[in-house]
A and B are shown apart, each in its own frame.
Chain A
């Protein structure tokens, strides 16, 4: 696994954002469960857990920009394309199934989980076709 300087910085950002996500999500769940928030504050608290996840997307973009090793960068792009294709495919199929009342509704943020899972698929494809691994797989 090539731990380039850019990959190390990305991992530090990822850890910090994950911790922040945990704090925000726990706080939001607690706040809503105990009816501590309302009005405009409720909107802010509800959106808070989304911000670190958006930050992860930004961190990945920054990693792509900062990564100096062009081969590693290509692996990352391939991985992200797999993730995007998988997540959008899941959303499309689920949308039609739900539209025809064949399955229940799920919250939209699960598309992020599908995207992360797609990253794993992309990493496996890189591993199988190129024998390669990248730091964020």
Chain B
């Protein structure tokens, strides 16, 4: 089943997979560094990275733009995840 490949957040809600941790590690940024650049709390970055929280579309765009990537290069579309 397709849904089984998706990460599950709090309460069993499906959340998007993402490459945030990898992208951050490539730049040698800590969660705090990324949080500062995004102007959010470190807790937010951790929640997104660990699949506990899906960012809003504006924040997802900010993240993608920060890494100079398209949004689908950072976040995996739930309909395309396998």
Judging by beta carbons under 8 Å apart, are A69 and B40 in contact?
yes
Interface contact B10-A69, CB-CB below 8 Å: no
> Cβ of A74: which chain B residues have Cβ within 8 Å of it?
53
**In the complex, what residues of A have CB within 8 A of residue B44's CB?**
2, 69-72
**Complex interface: chain A residues within 8 A of B47 (CB):** 71, 130, 132
CA distance A110 to B55 in the complex (A): 37
Once bound together, how far apart are the Cα atoms of A130 and B40, in whole Å? 17
Check if A129 sits within 8 Å of B11, measured CB to CB. Answer: yes
Residues of A within 8 Å of B, CB-based: how many? 13
Chain A residues with Cβ under 8 A from B55's Cβ?
70-71
Chain B's nearest CB lies how many Å from the CB of A24? 35
B28 adjacent to chain A (CB < 8 Å): no
The answer to whether B41 touches A2, judged by C-beta atoms less than 8 angstroms apart, is yes
Against B, the Cβ 8 Å flags (1 = close, 0 = not) of A68-81 are: 11111010000000
CA distance A2 to B35 in the complex (A): 11
A1-35: CB near B (< 8 Å → 1, else 0) gives 01010000000000000000000000000000000
Contact B56 A68 (CB under 8 A): no
Known: A129-B11, A130-B10. A72 touches B53 (CB 8 A): no
Give the CA-CA distance A71 to B40 in the complex, in Å: 8
Nearest B residue to A68 by beta-carbon distance?
B39
Q: Which parts of A38-86 form the interface with B (CB within 8 Å)?
A: 68-72, 74
CB-CB nearest in chain A for B38: A69
Contact assessment for B56 and A72 in the assembled complex, using a CB-CB cutoff below 8 Å: no
How far is A74 from B47 in the complex, measured between Cα atoms in Å?
Answer: 12
- Point out the residues of chain B lying under 8 angstroms from A133, CB to CB: 43
Q: A132: which B residues are within 8 A, CB to CB? A: 43, 47, 52
Judge if B21 is at the interface, Cβ distance under 8 Å.
no
